[in-house]
Every structure is written in C-alpha cells, then in structure tokens.
C-alpha cells in the first residue's frame, strides 16, 4: 500500500516538475529574445543603400567633377555612423520597449512558477535536490520493479547509481585522453623516424663530396 501511495506521489510530482520546466523555458526564451534582439543584418543592408548612392553618384551625374576619394571617404563614414551609431541606438530603444511590453507576461510566468513550487513543497516526497523529471522517473521505475519499499531507500539507491554513472563517465573521459596521448606519441615517433632517415641520407651524401 505504501508503494502505491509513493508511486502516485511521484507521478503527480513529475507532472508538476515538468510544468515548472516548461514555464521556466518559456521565461528563459522570452528573456533571451529581448536581451539578444538584434537586426544588424537588416540595418547593415539598409546602411549600404546611401553608401552605394554616394559611391556611384559621380557616375550618374554628367559633367559633375568631384573628387572620388572624398566621395569614398564620405560613403565609408556614412556607413559606419549608420550601422554602429544610429542603428545601435534603435536596437537599444527596441529592447527597452520589448522589456516594457513583455513585463506583464514575464511576471505572469514567474507567478505560475512560484505557484508550482508551493504545490511541490506541500505535496511531494522529493527533497528540492531531487526535484527533476529524471529523478522522479528513476524512483518510479524502482517502485514498479520492486527495488525499494520507501522513498528513502529510493533516494539512497538513486545517489549510488548517480555516483556510479559519474565514475563511468570519468573513466570514459580518461580513456579518451589516454587514446589521444597515444596518437600524439605515435605522430611524434613517426616524425622522429622521418628526421632520422633524412639525416642519414644527408650524412650519406656528404661522404661523396
């Protein structure tokens, strides 16, 4: 009976945790969009238009004597001012407007996330450290497969398996590093052999001089 209650608790906890993760991702995505709002590619294209006009204007006007170097300098300065001055200012204003526009939505997401946290605090058997979908899934599988009788046993078993998983990962990293070192040593040996052979040929040729 205890295992059934625990299983039900874990299943509902997993739903709440997944809900929190979705809300957190939505908030992160919105913040990332605002913080990295950038239309420089479009602005670069727009800034090229007056630059090209300034460059090709002397060719379009008949009998218009002008210093091409001066036109080129003015064109480059115009491009730089438009792209890195005026358009950067527009981007900052747009980001500020986006923050103000989306602030109610972000606050709503934060309220929903806090509500999920309160529900978990009042309901779940999982300590804060283990409030992940992976932990809930793993503990649920322990119960289904009759590996534990209570959540404390499940948490201990989960910690043991996490430790073993980390150890295996460290071993794989070490093996990969050793493999790379062996390959580097092989390359160095091969280069040394080539140098020795080249020196031997040089020495042999010097004997006939």
Per-residue tokens: 163: 């430790």
d(CA 100, CA 98): 5
d(CA 56, CA 48): 12
Rg (the chain; Cα; Å): 33
Which has the minimum average pLDDT: 29-33, 86-90, 109-113, 170-174? 86-90
Same domain for 110 and 171? no
Question: What tens digit of pLDDT does each residue of 128-187 get?
Answer: 989 999 999 999 999 989 888 888 899 999 999 999 988 998 899 888 888 888 888 888
Question: What tens digit of pLDDT does each residue of 60-106 get?
Answer: 444 444 455 555 565 566 656 555 666 677 778 888 888 999 999 99
In a domain, 207, yes or no: yes
- The predicted pLDDT at position 184 comes to 87
> What is the helix (H) or strand (E) element at residue 57, kind and residue range?
helix 40-60
The domain boundary, picked from 124, 148, 179, lies at: 124
Same domain for 113 and 208? no
- Tell how many helices (H) and how many strands (E) occur in the chain: 6, 0
Count of structural domains, the chain: 2
In a domain, 26, yes or no: yes
- The predicted pLDDT at position 63 comes to 43
Same domain for 25 and 113? yes
Same domain for 108 and 31? yes
Domain hosting residue 23, numbered range:
2-124
Same domain for 113 and 16? yes
In a domain, 161, yes or no: no
In a domain, 176, yes or no: yes
Same domain for 195 and 119? no
In a domain, 141, yes or no: no
**Cβ(125)–Cβ(6) below 8 Å:** yes
Distances (CA, A) of 167 to 51, 158, 177: 60, 14, 15
User: Which of 87, 9, 103, 12 is CA-nearest to residue 49?
Assistant: 87
Same domain for 17 and 115? yes
Residue 194 has pLDDT above 90, yes or no: no
In a domain, 154, yes or no: no
d(CA 89, CA 83): 10
The domain boundary, picked from 68, 99, 124, lies at: 124
Kindly tell me the burial class for residue 142, based on how many C-beta atoms sit within 10 Å of its own C-beta (0-12, 13-18, 19 or more).
buried
């Amino acid at each position: 009976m205890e295992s059934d209650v625990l299983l039900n608790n874990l299943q509902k906890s997993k739903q709440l945790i997944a809900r929190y993760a979705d809300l957190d991702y939505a908030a992160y995505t919105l913040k990332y969009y605002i913080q990295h709002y950038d239309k420089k590619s479009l602005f670069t294209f727009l800034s090229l238009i007056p630059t090209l006009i300034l460059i090709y204007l002397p060719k379009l006007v008949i009998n218009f004597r002008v210093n091409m170097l001066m036109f080129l300098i003015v064109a480059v300065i115009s491009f730089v001012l438009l792209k890195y001055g005026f358009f950067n200012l527009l981007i900052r204003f747009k980001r500020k407007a986006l923050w103000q526009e989306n602030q109610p939505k972000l606050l709503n997401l934060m309220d929903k996330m806090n509500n999920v946290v309160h529900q978990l605090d009042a309901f779940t058997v999982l300590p804060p450290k283990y409030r992940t979908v992976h932990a809930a899934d793993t503990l649920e599988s322990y119960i289904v497969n009759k590996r534990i009788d209570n959540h404390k046993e499940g948490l201990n078993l989960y910690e043991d398996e996490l430790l073993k998983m980390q150890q295996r990962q460290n071993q794989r990293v070490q093996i990969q590093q050793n493999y790379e070192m062996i390959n580097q040593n092989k390359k160095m040996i091969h280069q040394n052999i080539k140098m020795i052979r080249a020196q031997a040929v040089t020495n042999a040729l010097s004997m006939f001089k």
